[in-house]
Amino acid sequence: SAVISQKPSRDICQRGTSLTIQCQVDSQVTMMFWYRQQPGQSLTLIATANQGSEATYESGFVIDKFPISRPNLTFSTLTVSNMSPEDSSIYLCSVYDSGNTIYFGEGSWLTVV
Amino acid sequence: GNSVTQMEGPVTLSEEAFLTINCTYTATGYPSLFWYVQYPGEGLQLLLKATKADDKGSNKGFEATYRKETTSFHLEKGSVQVSDSAVYFCALPSGSARQLTFGSGTQLTVLP
């Protein structure tokens, strides 16, 4: 199974600032995804991070707010830009591995004050 | 597209009670089905999965059977422990990129 590390694990940020979350996988994977989990809610897909091309965003999420990089097959970043308290969430990186299974990182717990 | 409907929570049980969390799905074809668990303050962990009809996934005493006749994947455990207290999510892949669609989650609290 893939092992996924996310940084930071937690952060408290001021509104109006931006934060970049890193996701590192211990093996090369084709598909990487970013999800958001708002307090007490289920998970919602933000985007699919494509290696070597722009991310594919879901309805309601835009690149200006959530720019994503995917420079190689083991690493991706998600930036949450111009943050507001409504962005307080857990942001989770996930990967689809060769075993037909999707694994998640521990999440980055973000609080915007 | 594919979707999943999960039993509403929260669920509170006494230790050693029997657990069932219902999950039904709507899907094109027969995708893999998953249960994930989120312990307090942690991310998501894969609990179990089933890849085809009639498969039974199992892990840590939890079981779920892929039932195409009833389009269900209910999670069961015969005797819950306090340490099973967590949020449980049913999920299935949707879209060409295999991203997951999640149920609403069920908060389980087990009392000693």
Three-state DSSP class for residue A100: coil
Quick one: closest CA in B to A5, which residue? B43
Q: What is the average per-residue pLDDT within B14-38?
A: 94
Asked if the model's pLDDT at residue A99 lies above 80, the reply is no
| Among the ranges given (A14-28, B16-30, B92-106), the one the predictor scored with the smallest mean pLDDT | B92-106
Mean pLDDT, rounded, for B83-108: 90
Among all chains, which residue has been given the structure tokens 């996310």? A6
Residue B93 touches partner A, C-beta closer than 8 Å? yes
Residue A96: pLDDT band with limits 50, 70, 90: confident
Percent of chain A with pLDDT over 90: 83
Q: Is the pLDDT of residue A91 over 90?
A: yes
Which residues does residue A73 pair with via DSSP β-bridges, in sequence order?
A: none
* Contact indicator for A68, A47 with CB cutoff of 8 Å: yes
Q: What's the sign of the alpha-carbon dihedral B90, B93, B95, B97? A: positive
Residues in Cβ contact with B75 at an 8 Å cutoff, skipping those fewer than 6 apart? B19, B20, B21, B23, B35, B47, B62, B63, B64, B88, B90
pLDDT tier at B97 (50, 70, 90 boundaries)?
low
Residue A15 structure tokens: 């509104």
Chain A hits for B51, CB-CB cut-off 8 Å, are 100
Are A109 and A38 contacting, i.e. CB atoms less than 8 angstroms apart? no
Contact A107 B99 (CB under 8 A): no
DSSP letters spanning B7-59: ----EEEETT--EEE-EEEE-SS---EEEEEE-TT--EEEEEEE-STT-EEEE
Local confidence band at A31 (pLDDT 50, 70, 90 cut-offs):
confident
What is the distance between the terminal CA atoms of chain A, rounded to a whole angstrom?
36
Give the pLDDT confidence of A58-69 residue by residue, as tens digits. 999 999 999 999
Beta bridge pairs of residue A17: none
Q: How confident is the model at residue A1 (pLDDT cuts 50, 70, 90)?
A: confident
Kindly give the pairing relationship between strand B75-77 and strand B19-21: antiparallel
Select the residue from A6, A38, A42 to test the B interface by mutation, using most B Cβ atoms within 10 A. Answer: A42
Using DSSP, state whether A28 is helix, strand or coil.
coil
pLDDT score for A33 = 94
User: Which pLDDT does position A112 carry in this prediction?
Assistant: 97
Q: From chain A, which residues contact B within 8 Å (Cβ)?
A: 1, 6, 31, 33, 41-43, 45, 48, 56, 90, 92, 94, 96, 100-107
Tens-digit pLDDT profile for residues B30-88: 889 999 999 998 889 999 999 999 999 999 999 999 999 999 999 999 999 999 999 99
pLDDT in tens, A35-84: 999 998 999 999 999 888 889 999 999 999 999 999 999 999 999 999 99
In the Cβ-directed half-sphere of B100, how many Cα atoms lie within 13 Å?
33
Main-chain phi, psi angles of A44, to 5 degrees: -125, 135
Among the residues of A1-113, which ranges form H helices?
none
Taking the CA atoms of chain A, what radius of gyration do you get in angstroms?
13
pLDDT at B96 over 70: no
